[in-house]
Amino acid sequence: MSVLAEIKPRSQVLINEINGDSFSKRRLAQMGMRKNKTLVVLENVGKGPILVEIDHSKLVIGRKLAEKIIVRQVTPNKAR
Amino acid sequence: MDLPGIYGFGPASPEEIFPREILVKGQYEIIVNVVDGTKLERSLFLTHQLLTLNKSMILVVTFSDKMTEQGISIDIKKMEELLGVPVLVINSFNKSDLTQLKNTIFSRLEQPRLPRPILLPQLKKTKVFEKAEAEIKNILNLHSFPENDLAHLTKETLAYFIALRDDYLWKRLSTDLRDSIERIIKNTEHEFDLKNGLDIWLIEKEYEIIEQMQKQVLIRRSKAGQHSISEKIDRILLHPVWGIIIFITIMWLMFQTIFVVSQPGSDLLDLLFHNLAKEVKNTIPSPVIASFLADGIIDGVGFVLIFVPQIALLFIGLTLMEQSGYLARVVFITDRFMSKLGLSGKSIAPLILGFGCNVSGVLSTKSISDRKERITTILANPFIPCSARFPVFVMLSASFFPKHAGSILTLVYFAGITMAVLVSWILRNTLTRGEETSLLLEMPDLSVPSLRTIFYQTYLYLREFVEHAASWIAGGVIGIWILSVTGPKGFLGPDAMNDAGIMQESWIFLLGKLLLPIFSPLGWNTELVVALLFGFVAKEIVISTLGLLYGIKGEETLLGALGNSVDPISGLAYMFFILMYTPCIATLVAIKNEIGTKWAVFSVMIGLLAGWLVAFVIVYVGGLF
């Protein structure tokens, strides 16, 4: 298990748990982020936000929030 | 009615409450639910919730062209059958598609048919919702809620939205009722061990239902290994180094274009109003009425209108950035810098726009959902030196520092940015301190927006600007005119506007004298203080006022006169004060409309305070040498 903020780009992960403040948790849920859902990390550089793809939509998640999302890596560095 | 976007019902950011109130109150015939066909999973979420409102609906699936491109197809028949509403797949650029949409709307209006909501019956099959719903319904009945304007909603739907913690509905509940419902929710969560809460459980269940439905209606032939053009461009736009370079270049190009293109338009309007005023003075026999019309009304209205070309271009630029999806990229690449200030990437666009005009800067904060972050961004905005202050700084730096005008000008701009940053940081650590805002937004695919969308959006922005600001700027100029042509001795005559000797007798000059003690430690004279009073209306009036007060026409001589009467250090302090002292009337009105009178007053206070303190420090430190 690791947090979403630590996942390298082009990896596929499975969401295990979402923590954080209640407003963000609900907003994430509305956007389809939920337990056992897979998503692909597209961009993750330095201290910037993380870009993920979920349900064919792209989502920008601030780093602070991404540190509260616990995930399990499915495929490491999926080839381009 | 075109409602702003919402994701679903539940807790809202400020701009989302209004559309929900409209939807829940049900004072409409039909819901035209427009969804993005390439992101159907997401769109069906809101669709299901809207269906529980029991209103006639048409589901319009757009971007049929992109769907074909991406290998997406929908079983329309099946979808209509499942949802009980007509489903239209269209390309919004295609005229015949739009005609078909129009016809469908009209035929539905003639024969309204209720949809077949599948969400609630499905949810009711679960023990969790069955129990929570029954108990909430009971307690609502006991308190005879809802009132008349919500009576058309079924108790089931109400219980569902309340369980989702919809902000609008919760606002309508009495304290007693809220407490009871809170207890029901707590008990349900405890009994069924819902760790994330009932509302999140409901959202997740809805997604499960959507997933099942999708399997029946949606076919995606994924083209693996292929990247769309949008994704290829994003490699560069989102790059931590190249992205920033491109961003700065685009902004620079935008301002250059705005400056070059709008100048002739502004000059032309200026000339037009100038001649109109002259004409009025020549034709109307009564000098009082003539002066009121020419110096008061025409000047006042003209002052607003000469900004229109500039602001129109700014808004075209902003709309282009927004509609193409580029703004979301900017948010992405600047977030890491903004988060150091306690803000998020969403605050960057308003601050940038502030260089053009603080009014547009303030108006563009609408996209920031966190109220405290929004207040901070708005209050920092007036410190960004807008284009109206530019001529003032050029003029003053040339008169006080003939040899180093360019460097001084750069210094002032740099100081403005520093102040905006400093003010944001201080506010975020004091008055607007709050939970660190976590950035969360959807990144749309890059696309070329249609001209019609851009012009329509720009027109809406412009209309808002003219309506809100115009009356106040015009009012302000008229007010200043009245204070200039009247004094303790009564009416001074319209010549006061052209004769510094007469103006000395006016209220405005008296006010300047009254305020002088506050500013004399900074080494300023009455003329400079009076010019500040005028500058409150709009900063660029400072120059023309100084010219008037020194009884000089023409810039060349004003340079000399100013340089002779005020020492350079006091002059520099004066420039910094103008940079900060208060937002102009138009900006102030925008602030009041966006976040309320209290914050607008506060904005004036911090401006005056910061301006005076910085000016004082400059004079004090300058005096040491």
For B563-581, the pLDDT digits (tens) are 788 888 999 999 999 999 8
- For B619, phi then psi, to 5°, come to -65, -40
Q: Is B591's pLDDT higher than 90?
A: yes
Q: Are B363 and B464 in contact (CB under 8 A)?
A: yes
**A55 in contact with chain B, both atoms CB, cutoff 8 A:** yes
A35 to chain B: nearest residue by CA? Answer: B204
Q: Are A72 and A14 in contact (CB under 8 A)?
A: yes
Q: Flag if A60 and B439 touch (Cβ within 8 Å).
A: yes
Which residue type, as a one-letter code, is found at position B266?
S
Give the tens place of pLDDT for each residue, B63-117.
888 888 888 889 999 999 888 899 999 988 888 998 999 999 998 888 888 887 7
The whole-number pLDDT of residue B95 equals: 87
The residue with greater pLDDT, B597 or B70, is B597
How many Cβ atoms sit within 10 Å of the Cβ of residue B623? 10
In a mutagenesis test of the A interface, which of B203, B233, B447 is the best target, namely the one with the most A β-carbons within 10 Å?
B203
Pairing of strands A38-44, A12-18: antiparallel
Q: Flag if A48 and B332 touch (Cβ within 8 Å).
A: yes
Chain A contacts of B204, Cβ < 8 Å? 29, 34-35
- Binning pLDDT at 50, 70 and 90, where does residue B130 land? very high
In a mutagenesis test of the A interface, which of B166, B437, B438, B441 is the best target, namely the one with the most A β-carbons within 10 Å?
B438
Chain B contacts of A31, Cβ < 8 Å? 7, 42, 440, 442
Measure the CA–CA gap between B406 and B412, rounded to whole angstroms: 10
Q: Flag if B203 and A63 touch (Cβ within 8 Å).
A: no
**B203 in contact with chain A, both atoms CB, cutoff 8 A:** yes
Q: Give, to the nearest 10 degrees, the angle between helix B326-338 and helix B229-237.
A: 30
Distances, alpha carbon B584 to alpha carbons B55, B358, B477, B539, B613, in Å: 47, 9, 12, 7, 20
**A51 in contact with chain B, both atoms CB, cutoff 8 A:** yes
Give the tens place of pLDDT for each residue, B332-366.
998 888 888 888 888 888 887 787 778 888 987 87
- Binning pLDDT at 50, 70 and 90, where does residue A59 land? very high
The residue with greater pLDDT, A78 or B253, is B253
Give the tens place of pLDDT for each residue, B459-498.
887 887 677 656 666 676 677 778 888 888 888 877 776 7
Cis peptide before B146 (omega within 30 of 0): yes
Q: Are B264 and B429 in contact (CB under 8 A)?
A: no
- Binning pLDDT at 50, 70 and 90, where does residue B551 land? low
Please list the residues that pair with B443 across neighbouring strands: A58
Chain A contacts of B39, Cβ < 8 Å? 55-57
Three-state secondary structure along B450-484?
A: CHHHHHHHHHHHHHHHHHHHHHHHHHHHHHHHHHH
As a residue count, chain B comes to 625
**A78 in contact with chain B, both atoms CB, cutoff 8 A:** no
Give the tens place of pLDDT for each residue, B214-254.
888 888 776 554 567 888 899 999 998 999 999 888 877 87
Domain over A2-73 is classified CATH 2.30.30.90: yes
Chain B contacts of A26, Cβ < 8 Å? 10-11, 165, 199-200, 203
- Range in B6-10, B83-87, B322-326 with the lowest mean pLDDT: B6-10
Q: Are B244 and B348 in contact (CB under 8 A)?
A: no
In a mutagenesis test of the B interface, which of A21, A25, A26, A64 is the best target, namely the one with the most B β-carbons within 10 Å?
A26
Measure the CA–CA gap between B387 and B407, rounded to whole angstroms: 18
Strands (E), chain A: 2-3, 12-18, 38-44, 50-54, 57-61, 69-75
- Closest CA–CA distance from residue A19 to any residue of chain B (Å): 9
Distance of CA B543 to the CA centre of its chain: 30
Distances, alpha carbon B76 to alpha carbons A9, B71, B218, in Å: 36, 15, 9
- For B147, phi then psi, to 5°, come to -80, 180
**Using CB atoms, which residue from A28, A57, A61 is nearest to B42?**
A57
For A:13-32, CB contacts with B below 8 A are: 18, 20-32
- Binning pLDDT at 50, 70 and 90, where does residue A79 land? very low
Q: Flag if A26 and B335 touch (Cβ within 8 Å).
A: no
- Binning pLDDT at 50, 70 and 90, where does residue B555 land? low
Which residue type, as a one-letter code, is found at position B571?
G
Measure the CA–CA gap between A79 and A75, rounded to whole angstroms: 10
How many Cβ atoms sit within 10 Å of the Cβ of residue B467? 9
Which residue type, as a one-letter code, is found at position B183?
R
Q: Are B330 and B501 in contact (CB under 8 A)?
A: no
**A49 in contact with chain B, both atoms CB, cutoff 8 A:** yes
- Binning pLDDT at 50, 70 and 90, where does residue A80 land? very low
ipTM rounded to 2 decimals:
0.90
B43 to chain A: nearest residue by CA? Answer: A31
Contacts for B285 with CB less than 8 Å, ≥ 6 apart: none
The whole-number pLDDT of residue B383 equals: 94
The whole-number pLDDT of residue B278 equals: 85
Chain B contacts of A60, Cβ < 8 Å? 328, 331-332, 335, 345, 439-443
Q: Are B120 and B51 in contact (CB under 8 A)?
A: no
- Binning pLDDT at 50, 70 and 90, where does residue B14 land? low
Give the tens place of pLDDT for each residue, B395-408.
888 888 888 888 88
Q: Are B330 and B367 in contact (CB under 8 A)?
A: no
User: CA dihedral defined by B92, B95, B101, B103, rounded to 10 degrees?
Assistant: 170
For B:407-466, CB contacts with A below 8 A are: 435-445
Q: Is B456's pLDDT higher than 70?
A: yes
The whole-number pLDDT of residue B288 equals: 79
- Binning pLDDT at 50, 70 and 90, where does residue A52 land? very high
How many Cβ atoms sit within 10 Å of the Cβ of residue B240? 13
- Closest CA–CA distance from residue A56 to any residue of chain B (Å): 6
- Range in B3-7, B145-149, B484-488 with the lowest mean pLDDT: B3-7
End-to-end CA gap in chain B: 65
Mean pLDDT, range B41-47, rounded to an integer: 86
**Using CB atoms, which residue from B41, B199, B445 is nearest to A32?**
B41
Mean pLDDT, range B616-625, rounded to an integer: 89
- Binning pLDDT at 50, 70 and 90, where does residue B1 land? low
A57 to chain B: nearest residue by CA? Answer: B39
Region for B483 from its dihedrals, namely left if φ exceeds 0, alpha if ψ lies in -120 to 50, beta otherwise: alpha
In a mutagenesis test of the A interface, which of B6, B194, B200 is the best target, namely the one with the most A β-carbons within 10 Å?
B200
The whole-number pLDDT of residue B478 equals: 75
- Binning pLDDT at 50, 70 and 90, where does residue B304 land? low
Mean per-residue pLDDT of chain B: 84
A20 to chain B: nearest residue by CA? Answer: B438
The whole-number pLDDT of residue B557 equals: 67
Q: Flag if B38 and A64 touch (Cβ within 8 Å).
A: no
The whole-number pLDDT of residue B160 equals: 93
- Closest CA–CA distance from residue A79 to any residue of chain B (Å): 9
Measure the CA–CA gap between B415 and B408, rounded to whole angstroms: 10
Give the tens place of pLDDT for each residue, B192-214.
999 889 999 999 999 999 888 88
The residue with greater pLDDT, B139 or A46, is B139
Mean pLDDT, range B134-143, rounded to an integer: 90
Mean pLDDT, range B129-141, rounded to an integer: 91
